Amino acid sequence: MNDKRIEAEDLRAMLGYTCRRIQEEESNLNALDAAVGDGDHGITMRIGFQAIQGSLDATPREATLTDVLREAGKAFMGATGGAIGIIFGRMFIGGGTALAGVKEIGPVEFKTMLEAMEASVVKAGKAQPGDKTLLDSLHTACESLNSQPPCRSLAEAASRAADAAEEGAQSTAEMHCRLGRGSRLGDRVIGHRDPGAVSFSLVLRSMAEWVNAMDSASAPKV
Ligand SMILES: [Mg+2]
């Protein structure tokens, strides 16, 4: 079993890998958004995650887990604006704040981070589960980490959360939009997943891929 825990330097590498994976999905995310919004979600994510990459490069070596996540959130928010910029930005900042004083992320700290991310998104976006937003994948991911048995490794926690986030994102296809532009489209959004929920599931999937590859020679570093 891969029972590694990750320090700030690993988190930086994991986020760097996530930045690359999200940018590869730009056109897919734009296509999803074209069905329920204005078709620019992939562009926004590319800009936001490029800014996160820039913050990772600029953050000093001695940065803590909290510093890395907070700087990532600030960079995303500063680069993108709009509701999704605030939501993704506050999400990373909230996750980082919850890890203050923590040196390593294992399964327990990973759950702490995700729960703080959910609380930040709820506060920033005023959405509830079922509103066809990013929260539908994030909330499902958090719930999966509360189910039994508890995860014994970070690799297990990250994989379980990523699987649940994908299910949560898939479930948004059956939902109406209550907030934002999509709320005026009524039944026309049925059958289409929420782009933000899909993006968040991609973030968790990227983290899970990175953690699971960490032990092998091909572990994607920086
Ligand atoms: Mg849009």
What CATH number does the domain containing 109 carry?
1.25.40.340
Q: What is the pLDDT of residue 16?
A: 98
What residues make up the domain containing 98? Answer: 8-213
Q: What is the pLDDT of residue 216?
A: 63
Instruction: Find the 39 Cα to ligand 1 centroid distance in Å.
Output: 5
Q: What is the pLDDT of residue 60?
A: 94
Convert the pLDDT of each residue in 80-115 to its tens digit.
Answer: 988 899 999 999 999 999 999 999 999 999 999 999
Q: What is the pLDDT of residue 180?
A: 78
Q: Which two tokens stand for residue 21?
A: 């994976």
Torsion of CA 179, 180, 185, 190, to 10 degrees: -60
- Residues of the chain predicted below pLDDT 50: 1, 217, 222
Measured distance CA(5)–CA(122) in Å, rounded: 28
Q: Which two tokens stand for residue 206?
A: 């990227």
Residues near ligand 1 ion, CB 5 Å cutoff = 33, 37-38, 40-41
User: Residue 90 domain-assigned?
Assistant: yes
Q: What is the pLDDT of residue 211?
A: 95
Instruction: Find the 68 Cα to ligand 1 centroid distance in Å.
Output: 27
Instruction: Find the 168 Cα to ligand 1 centroid distance in Å.
Output: 20
User: Residue 184 domain-assigned?
Assistant: yes
pTM: 0.94
Convert the pLDDT of each residue in 112-125 to its tens digit.
Answer: 999 999 999 999 98
Measured distance CA(54)–CA(201) in Å, rounded: 22
Measured distance CA(43)–CA(28) in Å, rounded: 10
Q: What is the pLDDT of residue 15?
A: 98
User: Residue 134 domain-assigned?
Assistant: yes
User: Residue 220 domain-assigned?
Assistant: no
Q: What is the pLDDT of residue 159?
A: 97
User: Residue 166 domain-assigned?
Assistant: yes
Q: What is the pLDDT of residue 147?
A: 93
User: Residue 30 domain-assigned?
Assistant: yes
- Looking at the structure of the chain, the number of domains it has is 1
User: Residue 168 domain-assigned?
Assistant: yes
Task: Give kind and range of the element (H or E) at residue 110.
Answer: helix 107-125
User: Residue 2 domain-assigned?
Assistant: no
Q: What is the pLDDT of residue 21?
A: 98
Q: What is the pLDDT of residue 53?
A: 98
